[in-house]
Amino acid sequence: MTTSQPVPASAGGIPGAAASSASVNALQIPDLTGRTAVVTGANSGIGLPTARALGRAGAHVVLAVRDLDKGKAAATTVPGSHEVRRLDLAHLASVREFAASWDGDLDLLINNAGVMMAPEGRTKDGFETHFGTNHLGHFALTNLLLPHITDRVVTVSAAAHRWVKGIDFDNLYLAGEYNPRRAYGQSKLANLLFTLELQRRLSDVGSRVRSLAAHPGLAVSNLGPRSGLGAQLGRMLFKIVAQDTEAGAQPTLLAATQDVPGASYAGPDGHSGMRGAPALVGRTAAASDPAAAKRLWAQSAELTGTDFSGVPL
């Protein structure tokens, strides 16, 4: 595993480049005037401060949300040019409708939305809730929007990818073996493998588009169980060690706006990656396995009916 490495704007995106530590709020975001960004799940959690930061920098921000009313309420706090569009990542028909309605260039796609530690369930297409929403929904969305994307795709993973040793390709939905922790961890591992394989495909065709990943550390959000002992313990833990959503959004913003190499993974540089300044961080061997990434892509393409095509060079 590589060591954490703070990357301010001056680091130039060179792997291993020396960079001084900075405070969590010191990330310098360049002028994004004239650029368009889609942020899924932008009405809450780290998605909202991500949208606000991009809006302050001059980008036109599209809040892609499941609940339009909540999205419109959140949008009133986003500076600059913005709009709200409906997107339900747990329903491929909604994903296709969103993508089909897109016209023109899309500079930045931030795959941020997700569910965490949910009871066993299925999406409208019959996929396990975490895998279907966190991974397959974003997989389909990215592939359908690729003909429009001009700069980069940032997919939000989590330190929880370390909770599993690999993707259970023989039982993707963990039928008969379901555990919320395992299901969530597998979906976050899938996010990283998706990022890896997408970058390989982009590089193979000579595209300038980059695929990157980020994780917020332990940040206050509306994810996770709302009741029970686990929720109570979680709230106590948050009070002690969690950072706020603004700080949690910083690794996403690093990946979205700084000159870092494709397939980079950003996260907090503090103890166990739970909090700290945004930095390039390490991932597990399972999250760096190109064979697993290719296999996951093939299965995801079959399940969603979408695949890599039409990317701008």
pLDDT along the chain (313 residues), means of 10: 33 27 62 98 96 98 98 98 98 98 98 96 98 98 98 97 97 97 98 98 97 88 52 60 86 97 94 85 97 98 95 75
Residues contacting 177, CB < 8 A, separation 6+: 171
Residues contacting 277, CB < 8 A, separation 6+: 6, 21, 22, 23, 24, 26, 250, 268, 269, 270
Three-state secondary-structure class, residue 151? strand
Environment class of residue 25 by beta-carbon count within 10 Å: exposed (0-12), middle (13-18) or buried (19+)? exposed
Rounded Cα–Cα distance for residues 245 and 166 (Å): 29
For residue 70, the tally of other CB atoms under 10 A from its CB is 14
Determine contact, residues 309/143, Cβ cutoff 8 Å: yes
The predicted model scores a pTM of 0.88
State the pLDDT at residue 15. 28
Residue of 173, 178, 184, 265 with catalytic role? 184
**Token pair recorded at residue 152:** 């980069």
For residue 235, the tally of other CB atoms under 10 A from its CB is 12
**Token pair recorded at residue 72:** 């419109």
State the pLDDT at residue 274. 81
Cα-based angle 103, 209, 6 (whole degrees, multiple of 5): 125
State the pLDDT at residue 27. 87
State the pLDDT at residue 244. 86
Nearest to 34 by CA among 106, 121, 139, 109: 106
State the pLDDT at residue 2. 33
- Catalytic residue at 173? no
Alpha carbon of residue 131 to chain centroid: 13
